């Protein structure tokens, strides 16, 4: 995820230039979600999956991905599995679009306050940007708050996001991070559906 030194902007704000990361062409995470095809529906390929009720979340693969996400919140893998289905079935492409569609999140038949969704997505952003929570190994619990993200705005000006500006960074990321399904890495095998979920910018 690190930018090269050639891409890094000059050290204008007192940070080591090797810690600059350009918010462009980055894959923050790639997750494999496993679902069980609801027994009320017949077997089909990916193109036949048009209803969220067809799919029941089972687990993530490898298991370490799920263990890491539990550190965000014990129910966060379930919440993210619902986001994956919204991306796959309904074509949303950002966390902001998911927030707009979900007036009140429902997890395991529990209605949660809207603030829960907002706070958990912001918390996930913190883990995603400043730690190795998306790695296939068990996360060691360390954050790297020395990283400074930057981007060019519509006027060609460079916007910097050191850690003390992370609220502004998260607000930028919510509508601009691209959520997707890599269909080349997704498949159906019997009654198991595996969806490869990507988070990019």
Whole-model pTM: value is 0.87
Question: Per the domain annotation, does 15 fall within a domain?
Answer: no
State which residues form the domain around 103: 27-147+165-200
Question: Per the domain annotation, does 11 fall within a domain?
Answer: no
Helix (H) or strand (E) holding 57: strand 55-61
Question: Is residue 34 within 8 Å of residue 192, measured between CB atoms?
Answer: yes
User: pLDDT at position 167, please?
Assistant: 93
DSSP conformational letter for 62: S
d(CA 61, CA 194): 9
Question: Per the domain annotation, does 127 fall within a domain?
Answer: yes
Question: Per the domain annotation, does 188 fall within a domain?
Answer: yes
Question: Per the domain annotation, does 173 fall within a domain?
Answer: yes
Instruction: Specify the number of domains making up the chain.
Output: 1
Residues 6+ apart with CB under 8 A from 78: 57, 107, 108
Residue 138 binned pLDDT confidence (cut-offs 50, 70, 90): very high
Question: Per the domain annotation, does 122 fall within a domain?
Answer: yes
Identify any residues that bridge with 22 across adjacent strands, giving them in sequence order: 150
User: pLDDT at position 49, please?
Assistant: 92
Identify any residues that bridge with 49 across adjacent strands, giving them in sequence order: none
């Amino acid at each position: 995820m690190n930018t090269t030194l050639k891409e890094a902007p000059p050290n204008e704000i007192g940070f080591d230039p090797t810690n600059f990361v350009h918010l462009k062409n980055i894959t923050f995470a790639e997750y494999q979600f496993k679902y069980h095809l609801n027994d009320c529906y017949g077997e089909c390929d990916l193109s036949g999956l048009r209803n969220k009720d067809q799919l029941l979340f089972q687990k993530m693969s490898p298991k370490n991905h799920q263990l890491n996400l539990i550190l965000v919140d014990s129910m966060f893998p379930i919440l993210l599995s619902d986001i994956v289905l919204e991306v796959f079935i309904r074509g949303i492409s950002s966390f902001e679009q998911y927030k707009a569609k979900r007036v009140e999140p429902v997890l395991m038949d529990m209605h949660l306050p809207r603030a829960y969704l907002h706070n958990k997505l912001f918390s996930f952003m913190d883990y995603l940007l400043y730690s190795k929570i998306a790695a296939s190994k068990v996360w060691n619990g360390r954050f790297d708050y020395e990283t400074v993200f930057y981007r060019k705005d519509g006027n060609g000006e460079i916007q910097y996001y050191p850690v003390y500006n992370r609220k502004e960074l998260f607000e930028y990321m919510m509508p601009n991070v691209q959520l997707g399904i890599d269909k080349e890495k997704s498949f159906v095998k019997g009654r198991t559906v595996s969806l490869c979920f990507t988070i990019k910018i």
